[in-house]
């Protein structure tokens, strides 16, 4: 058991040293750097030192523990919803997950050995550390997806108002999308990037319908899906885009108001649990404490 702990500790230290080395010596791609200096929106692949390090570490780990094509596609889509657009994001995520599965039990086993804990503690805490290492990256990914989708949902109302103004001012749909994306750059960067991606895809030759459907796939937001369906239908049948967007904006505000009312109605029910746990015992104690003290004085005589 001691040899196993020493080997795991040495492996963790070696991986840490290699990670620091790759972090300090890795260089950004020349073409991507030139694209970023010309137009930041053209940098579609994230080549930070951390992502390069995790990609290098992921290759041997993913060869040892491969993932199915269905799971890889599902993971890539989740990472895309979270804002990680690099093709190597899924591989890096798997590398982080596998490293945590190995590193956390090693740290726990070393701590148990230093504290001279019994063998049962080694096994229990080791399994617990492996479980945490497996589920922690997934939990962080889900929280990032939820936060990003919420930011995009909040930005959609402002985007619709600006689009109505742009379309009624005489701009076409492509020009309106480009103008709205520029206006939202400082306020809602997530929505700015998504609209910029739509304009870039249209500029490189993709159809407007395909670019808008890709917007739905990248965000995974239901309101965006409804908005894209509205734009595609209005563009296909030649109806007024300004009127359609204005009606959709009104319905979106009504839906958001209904969601707020629903959340406020749920809040009253959710408050019952902490009130019952924390406030009710205190009230009971304050009411019964004088009587209890009188009974104690009475029986003590």
Q: What is the pLDDT of residues 107-119, one digit of tens each?
A: 877 877 777 777 6
Half-sphere exposure of 4 (CA within 13 A, CB side): 10
Same domain, 174 and 257: yes
CA distance 110 to 255: 54
Same domain, 128 and 171: no
CA nearest neighbour of 9 among 112, 153, 145, 121: 112
- The answer as to whether 64 is a domain residue is yes
Domain count, the chain: 2
Boundaries of domain holding 47: 2-146
CA distance 257 to 269: 19
Q: What is the CATH number of the domain that holds 171?
A: 1.20.81
pLDDT digits (tens, 9 = 90+) for 71-81: 778 888 888 88
Q: What is the pTM of this model?
A: 0.69
CA distance 156 to 224: 8
The single-letter DSSP state of residue 88 is T
Q: What is the mean pLDDT of the chain?
A: 77
The single-letter DSSP state of residue 201 is H
- The answer as to whether 275 is a domain residue is no
CA distance 191 to 131: 35
- The answer as to whether 166 is a domain residue is yes
For the cut 70, the answer to whether the pLDDT of residue 257 exceeds it is yes
Question: What are the φ/ψ torsions at residue 195 (nearest 5 degrees)?
Answer: -70, -35
Same domain, 118 and 177: no
Between the alpha carbon of residue 224 and those of residues 31, 59, 77, 96, 289, the distances in Å are 32, 35, 16, 31, 58
- Higher pLDDT among residues 266 and 19, named by residue: 266
- The answer as to whether 85 is a domain residue is yes
């Amino acid at each position: 058991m001691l040899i196993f702990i020493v080997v795991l500790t040495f492996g963790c230290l070696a991986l840490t040293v290699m990670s620091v080395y790759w972090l300090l010596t890795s260089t950004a791609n020349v073409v991507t750097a030139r694209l970023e200096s010309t137009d930041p929106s053209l940098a579609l692949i994230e080549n930070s030192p951390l992502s390069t390090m995790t990609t290098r570490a992921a290759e041997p780990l993913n060869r040892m523990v491969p993932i199915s094509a269905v799971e890889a596609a599902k993971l890539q889509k989740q990472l895309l919803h979270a804002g990680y657009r690099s093709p190597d994001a899924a591989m890096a995520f798997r590398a982080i997950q596998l490293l945590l599965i190995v590193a956390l039990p090693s740290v726990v086993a070393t701590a148990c050995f230093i504290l001279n804990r019994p063998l049962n503690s080694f096994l229990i805490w080791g399994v617990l550390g492996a479980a945490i290492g497996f589920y922690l990256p997934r939990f962080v990914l889900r929280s990032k997806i939820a936060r990003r989708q919420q930011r995009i949902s909040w930005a959609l109302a402002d985007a619709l108002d600006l689009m109505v103004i742009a379309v009624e001012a005489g701009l076409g749909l492509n020009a309106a999308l480009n103008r709205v994306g520029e206006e939202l750059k400082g306020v809602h960067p997530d929505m700015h990037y998504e609209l910029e991606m739509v304009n870039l895809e249209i500029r490189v030759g993709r159809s407007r319908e395909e670019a808008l459907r890709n917007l739905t796939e990248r965000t995974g937001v239901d309101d965006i899906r409804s908005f894209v369906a509205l734009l595609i239908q209005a563009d296909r049948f030649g109806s007024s885009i300004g009127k359609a967007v204005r009606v959709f904006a009104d319905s979106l505000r009504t839906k958001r108001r209904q969601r707020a009312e629903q959340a406020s109605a749920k809040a009253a029910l959710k408050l019952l649990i902490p009130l019952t746990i924390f406030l009710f015992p205190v009230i009971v104690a304050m009411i019964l404490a004088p009587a209890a003290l009188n009974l104690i004085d009475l029986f003590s005589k």
